[in-house]
Amino acid sequence: QIVPLVAKLVGNSPRYHRAESTEYSILVIGVPNVGKSSLINSLRRLHLKKGKATAVGGEPGITKAVLTRIQVCEKPLMYLVDTPGVLPPKLGDVETGMKLALCGAIRDHLVGEDIMADYLLYALNKQQQFGYVRRYGLAKACDDIEPVLRRVALAQGRTQKVKVLTGTGNVNMTMLNYPAAAYEFLRDFRAGRLGRVTLD
């Protein structure tokens, strides 16, 4: 629906009839990690039957510069220009920032996976979305992130070997890897494995 709609909008606008050129260049903009590059690749695949022209990934910052024009359609001749994601330099409040981070618009390590996991649990409980209880085999919903991450770590086998200094020397111990469990919790949410959740 996008290409015909754009062609119609451009065709009906008098400002585009000043030049002889009949090609359209369209800039694709939006917050990071919403699928701008994926949209361009899909349109290209659909209208030109050609493979992807721009790299995509499940984290923000894959597109680092305004790229050259990418042809997505022959008739009408249409080019899309991919851009890096843009966010306002200052977010309105912390909660908005947390929601953007959970959706992958801000890199996880800049906020902290543990903080994000804690906020995610809060958001899920607030909306009474208890898919995590079933997924991780918890007895019931809880407000404390620690038992949830413990269950995630056990279920996913997220452990780490740690050297512990004792009075008789070093001892190697296997401990649960909570940062890895927090990352898994976030991944499950983003993949829709905790249910269809809208943060707003």
> Over the stretch 4-39, which tens digit does the pLDDT of each residue have?
887 787 777 766 555 556 677 778 888 887 788 788
Average pLDDT over residues 143-162: 88
Please check the confidence at residue 61 and state whether its pLDDT lies above 60. Answer: no
Residue 200 inside a domain? The answer is: no
Q: Of the residues 51, 82, 113, which one is the last residue of a structural domain?
A: 82
Report the percent of the chain where pLDDT is more than 90: 27
Rounded Cα gap, residues 143 and 148, in angstroms:
9
Mark whether 187 and 98 lie in a shared domain.
yes
Residue 62 inside a domain? The answer is: yes
Average pLDDT over residues 147-167: 83
Mark whether 64 and 22 lie in a shared domain.
yes
Residue 151 inside a domain? The answer is: yes
Residue 187 inside a domain? The answer is: yes
What residue spans of 62-144 are helical by DSSP H? 94-102, 108-111, 113-126, 131-136
Mark whether 7 and 27 lie in a shared domain.
yes
What residue spans of the chain are helical by DSSP H? 2-11, 36-48, 94-102, 108-111, 113-126, 131-136, 145-156, 178-190
Residue 196 inside a domain? The answer is: no
Average pLDDT over residues 65-75: 69
Contact partners, residue 108, CB within 8 Å, separation at least 6: 59, 101, 116, 183, 186
Contact partners, residue 142, CB within 8 Å, separation at least 6: 148
Mark whether 70 and 101 lie in a shared domain.
no
Mark whether 75 and 102 lie in a shared domain.
no
Domain that holds residue 62: 2-82
- The domain that contains 19 carries what CATH number? 3.40.50.300
Mark whether 45 and 73 lie in a shared domain.
yes
Residue 22 inside a domain? The answer is: yes
Residue 178 inside a domain? The answer is: yes
Residue 124 inside a domain? The answer is: yes
Mark whether 184 and 103 lie in a shared domain.
yes
pTM assigned to the model: 0.64
